[in-house]
Copies of this chain bind each other. A is one copy, B any other.
Amino acid sequence: MHAQQMISTHPHVRGNTNDVLIRCIEACFDCEQSCIACADACLGEDMVQELTQCIRLNLDCADTCRAAGSMATRRTGSNEVALRTMLEACGLACRICGDECERHAQQHQHCAICAQTCRQCEQLCQEAAQSKTGSQQQH
């Protein structure tokens, strides 16, 4: 992904990037795609009936990741409190989804991989929420 390049060339950032936030953005888009994929892979399993909770959590997690990744991308103006709250909501959805995927990790490799991407996104959302999420230079 080009998140680092895109954000470091923003007129209010000018190279002075919040690196944990950038890694968090990439993790959000990665986790969104993994969760859409895991929901769909679970849907294709013969035992889909036993994976409906996993599918539901995957889709919820994908929705929060998309919102968090998009909000965190914006550096014009400021929306720090809302962004921090969104990052926390996303970290929570990732944790719950990762826990559920973990339960099916032995049986389904897509759940094992998705659990990992959820863990990484959870971790980075928490770190980013505690970092200085505002743009470095206000106009």
Contact = CB atoms under 8 A, between A and B. Distances in A.
Interface in A103-139: 108-110, 113-114, 116-117, 135, 139
B113 A6 contact: yes
A67 B69 contact: no
Contact of A74 (B40, B64, B75): B40
A79 B52 contact: no
Contact of A41 (B1, B57, B63, B75): B75
Interface secondary structure of A, over-half rule: helix
A114 B2 CA distance: 9
Contact of A56 (B11, B43, B45): B43
Interface residues of A, number: 68
A7 to B, nearest CB: 6
Given A52-B48, A60-B79, A96-B82, A29 B40 contact: no
Interface in A8-56: 9-12, 25-26, 29-30, 32-34, 36-38, 40-41, 43-46, 48-49, 52-53, 55-56
Nearest to A55: B43
16 contacts: A3-B37, A6-B113, A7-B37, A9-B41, A29-B33, A33-B73, A37-B73, A40-B56, A43-B56, A44-B75, A48-B48, A56-B76, A63-B66, A63-B70, A66-B66, A79-B93
